[in-house]
A and B are shown apart, each in its own frame.
Chain A
Amino acid sequence: MVFDIAGAVLLALGLLLATIGLYGMLRIPDIFHQLHPAGLVTGPAVILVLLAAVFTGSAEIITSAALVILFVLITSPLSTHAIAQAARRRPRQSRDRSS
Chain B
Amino acid sequence: MPDLVVQVAAGWATLLLFGGGLLLLRARDTLHRVLALDVLVAIVIMLLTTLSYVRDVSYYIDAALALALLALTSTLVAARYVTRGGPF
Interface positions of A (Cβ within 8 A of B): 3-4, 7-8, 11-12, 14-15, 18-19, 21-23, 25-26, 31, 34-35, 38, 41-42, 45-46, 49-50, 52-53, 55-56, 58, 60-61, 63-65, 67-68, 71-72, 75-76, 78-80, 82-83, 85-87, 89-90, 94, 97-98
How would you classify the secondary structure of chain B's contact residues: helix, strand, loop or mixed? Answer: helix
21 residue pairs A–B, Cβ–Cβ below 8 Å: A11-B1, A11-B50, A18-B46, A19-B19, A22-B43, A31-B32, A49-B13, A56-B53, A56-B56, A61-B57, A64-B61, A64-B62, A68-B61, A72-B68, A75-B68, A75-B69, A79-B38, A79-B72, A79-B76, A87-B82, A94-B30
